[in-house]
Amino acid sequence: MSALDNIRLAKDSYTAMGVATTSKKNDALKAIAHLLPIRADEIITANRIDIENGIAKEIGDGLLDRLMLNQERITSLANAISQVVTLHDPVGEVVRSSTLPNGLKLSEVRVPFGVIGAIYEARPNVTVDLTALAIKTGNAIVLRGGTAAENTNRVLVKLLQDALESVGLPRNAVQTVDDFGREGATAMMHARGLIDVLIPRGSANLIQTVIEESKVPVIETGAGVTHVFLDETAREDWAIDIVFNSKTQRVSVCNSLETLLVHEKIAESILPKIFEKLAEKSVVLHGDETVTKIDPSVIPATEADWATEYLAQELSVKVVKNLDEAIDHINKYSTHHTESIITENEAHAERFLAEVDSAAVIVNASTRFTDGGEFGFGAEVGISTQKLHARGPMGLQELTSTKWLIRGNGQIRA
Residue 390 has pLDDT above 90, yes or no: no
Residue in 278, 276, 258, 264 with CA at minimum distance from that of residue 230: 264
Q: Which residues, 6 or more positions from 66, have their beta carbon under 8 angstroms from its beta carbon?
A: 122, 123, 125, 252, 253
* Lowest mean pLDDT across 127-141, 324-338, 367-381: 367-381
Q: What is the CB-side half-sphere exposure of residue 252 using CA atoms within 13 A?
A: 14
pLDDT digits (tens, 9 = 90+) for 221-267: 877 899 999 999 999 999 999 999 999 998 888 899 999 999 999 99
Tell me which H or E stretch contains 174. strand 174-176
Give the single-character DSSP code of 306.
Answer: G
Among the listed ranges 53-57, 63-67, 131-135, 295-299, which one has the minimum average pLDDT value?
A: 63-67
What's the CA gap between 9 and 4, in Å, rounded?
9
Encode pLDDT of 193-220 as tens digits: 999 999 998 777 888 899 999 999 998 8
* N-to-C CA span, the chain: 53
Q: Half-sphere exposure of 35 toward its Cβ, with a 13 Å CA cutoff?
A: 22
Q: Would you call 5 helix, strand, or coil by DSSP? A: helix
Domains recognised in the chain with CATH numbers? 3-221+381-407 (3.40.605.10), 226-369 (3.40.309.10)
pLDDT band (50, 70, 90) for residue 184: very high
Residue 380 pLDDT greater than 90, yes or no:
no
Least confident of 179-188, 198-207, 308-317: 198-207
Residues 50-87 pLDDT 10s: 999 999 999 988 789 889 999 999 999 999 999 999 99
The torsion angle over the Cα atoms of residues 136, 382, 352 and 387, rounded to 10 degrees, is -80
Give the pLDDT of residue 244. Answer: 98
pLDDT band at 372 (very low <50, low <70, confident <90, very high): confident
pLDDT of 102 strictly over 80: yes
Helices 204-213 and 181-189: angle between axes, nearest 10 degrees: 50
